[in-house]
Amino acid sequence: MKDYTFKNPVKINHPLADKISVQDSERHYCVPGKSSEIAFFIGKDFQTEIIAEFADYTHAEPDLDTRVYSHVPNELIYSFLAKWKV
């Protein structure tokens, strides 16, 4: 079995979250190098409210205890981080 590295969450100063996880391996819902799978956190808990900038990349199910955004274009993530990264 191939070994995968998971990247640490990045601290952000967003009104709805304090960390973003950005993953781009073959094990994630993405095209490595072009898109990534992301998730937001408050402390150690998933932030389940939809972040507007990424609404097109998640399911709109209201009662989830986790929320992941898949196939998010890397350029959109870079733009978000330029604004919110601590």
Q: State the Cα–Cα distance between residues 14 and 80, nearest whole angstrom.
A: 10
Residue-level pLDDT at 80: 98
pLDDT of 13-56, one tens digit each? Answer: 999 999 999 999 988 999 999 999 999 999 999 999 999 999 99
- Could you tell me the two tokens for 19? 């960390």
Longest dimension (CA), the chain: 40
Least Cα distance to 34 among 42, 24, 26 occurs for 24
Residues counted in the chain: 86
pLDDT of 55-66, one tens digit each? Answer: 999 987 777 899
Residue-level pLDDT at 59: 82
Residue-level pLDDT at 67: 94
Look up the pTM and report it: 0.90
